[in-house]
Structure 1
Amino acid sequence: MPSSFTLDSRRLPVQRTVEAEVSVPAGTKAGSYPVRVEVAGSGVESLVREATVEVREPNRCATPADGQCAVDLAREANHDGTATVAASGEGDFDGGGWSYDAALLPKTGPVTWGGVTYQAPDASGTAANFTEARGQSMLLPAGRHSTLRLVAAAHNGTVSTTLTVRYTDGTSAELPVTVGDWAGSAPGGSTVALDMDHRIRRGQGVDGPSVRLFATSAPLDAAKTVRSLSLPDDPRVEVYALTLV
């Protein structure tokens, strides 16, 4: 970014867009750091904007084996989508009081569906076990992979959307995916990872219809090292597990 520049408005409104590059020194501890930008000019009031830079550790491979990296998303999980018959109000997957039955989901740890090993989140109690898509970026374990395998489900309808993968060389790619509604059938390009014959309704317990988790995939550039994955800003999309292959 230039240290200074001049805009000649000739008494007309004029503007210029300038990129502000923020570098993070090596060894910076994880945490949130304030960034303050001030713009000043002759004869006008200064304009100040503040932002926050968050420094995070990358997520780890929970079960690296056979070239597969089952990503541990425990730090990314932000939504409890499970409940039980005994505690029907503990979670709320769809915002309407319905949840997956924790008793029908795998225990925390590795689980294999369709020949791919994933890291299943904690389905017990009020633990966050889904990553609701809010436009956030998730740091991935650095590595070269050809495919992103995703287990997810949507509520209030099937969602066709786009993920963004970023590589360490500064390039990025858009990954179109379709996430099926949890009470619907698998959309094209995906399969049913887990089929459950009921769900839990707040204040009632066991309730129909049957619900599912869906597995889908998207290609990665195996010649490049992955850095992060950005989710869409659509909270109907809920990520359960993610594996790099």
Structure 2
Amino acid sequence: MPPGTAAGSYPVHFTVEADGAARVTREATVEVRPAAKCATATDKQCAVDLSKDMAHDGTATTDNPGQGDFDGSGWSYDAGLLPAAGPVTWDGVTYEAPDPTGTAANFVEARGQTLLLPARSHGTLRLVAASHNGPVTTALTVRYTDGSSSEVPLKVGDWAGQAPEGTTVVLDMPHRIKAGQGVDGPPVRLFGSSVELNDAKEMRSLTLPDDPRIEVYAITLS
């Protein structure tokens, strides 16, 4: 992108030609946006503000059981059992909790998108997430400001299941909400996991897998 390009969405046109073949034209859209910022920062931790990347409402209430839909089948987390928007500390790590109320988007659904993160050197990426329709074993792509990248493994537990090996339960809730009904079992959870980074480099972005079963709740860099 040219230096100084303003934030926004830009169409890009591609044309391919070859002897003896018809011309092929395709279009894509490139989005230019500022990188996410640290909502809460200390010398050792950066709780990332993911509000611009969140596009899925996974919470509901007993008064409005159809307000969200975490798993695509009408079940949601109970908004009243989640922390209020703002800093929340689990296992010694401070995260930026999204807004659980109303129809606010409070999860980043993994669809292969890239999240631009604060460009700093970090040794660990802490991630709070859950999956639906079964646990997921996958990988994240970490990119650095020098142009290099690496793939790191990730396990995400099913929200109504147990924590996969190497992960922890950061929040255990006794029930969930069903659209058209209200309180419903079984208990559900949010899981925490850690991903090692190269602290000799500055991290630039994180690419999520293309698997919408995975829902990211919070990220902290440390």
Partner of 1:201: 178
Partner of 1:185: 162
Aligned partners of 1:40 and 1:81: how far apart in 2? 46
Partner of 1:4: none
Q: TM-score, normalised by structure 1?
A: 0.88
Alpha carbon RMSD of aligned pairs, Å? 1.2
Aligned partners of 1:156 and 1:65: how far apart in 2? 37
Query: SS of the residue aligned with 1:236?
Result: strand
Instruction: Give the CA deviation at 1:137.
Output: 0.5
- Listed one character per residue, the Cα deviations across residues 25-50 of structure 1 (whole Å, up to 9, x for unaligned) are 11111111112233345675433222
Partner of 1:33: 10
Select the residue among 223, 230, 233 that pairs with 2:200.
223
2:125 is aligned with 1:148 = yes
Distance change (3 Å), C-alpha of 1:43 and 1:203: closer
Aligned partners of 1:112 and 1:66: how far apart in 2? 16
Query: SS of the residue aligned with 2:65?
Result: coil
2:65 is aligned with 1:82 = no
Q: Which amino acid aligns with 2:31?
A: E
Q: Which amino acid aligns with 1:166?
A: R
Percentage identity across aligned positions?
67
2:166 is aligned with 1:164 = no
Aligned partners of 1:138 and 1:213: how far apart in 2? 21
Question: Per residue, is there more strand in 1 or in 2?
Answer: 2
- Listed one character per residue, the Cα deviations across residues 108-146 of structure 1 (whole Å, up to 9, x for unaligned) are 000000000000001000111000101110000110000
**Structure 2: tracts of 5 or more residues without a match:** none
Aligned partners of 1:42 and 1:199: how far apart in 2? 60
Q: Which has the larger radius of gyration?
A: 1
Q: Which amino acid aligns with 1:158?
A: P
Partner of 2:109: 132
Partner of 2:70: 93
Aligned partners of 1:130 and 1:102: how far apart in 2? 13
Q: Which amino acid aligns with 1:34?
A: P
Distance change (3 Å), C-alpha of 1:134 and 1:44: closer
2:217 is aligned with 1:240 = yes
Instruction: Give the CA deviation at 1:211.
Output: 0.6
Instruction: Give the CA deviation at 1:58.
Output: 0.4
Distance change (3 Å), C-alpha of 1:84 and 1:46: same
Partner of 1:51: 28
Give the number of equivalent residue pairs: 222
**Structure 1: tracts of 5 or more residues without a match:** 1-23
> Segments of 4+ in structure 1 off by > 6 A?
none
Aligned partners of 1:132 and 1:49: how far apart in 2? 26
Distance change (3 Å), C-alpha of 1:43 and 1:158: closer
- Listed one character per residue, the Cα deviations across residues 133-189 of structure 1 (whole Å, up to 9, x for unaligned) are 011100001100000000000111110011111001111011101100111111100
Query: SS of the residue aligned with 2:129?
Result: strand
Q: TM-score, normalised by structure 2?
A: 0.97
Aligned partners of 2:6 and 2:67: how far apart in 1? 34
Partner of 1:5: none
Q: Which amino acid aligns with 2:125?
A: L
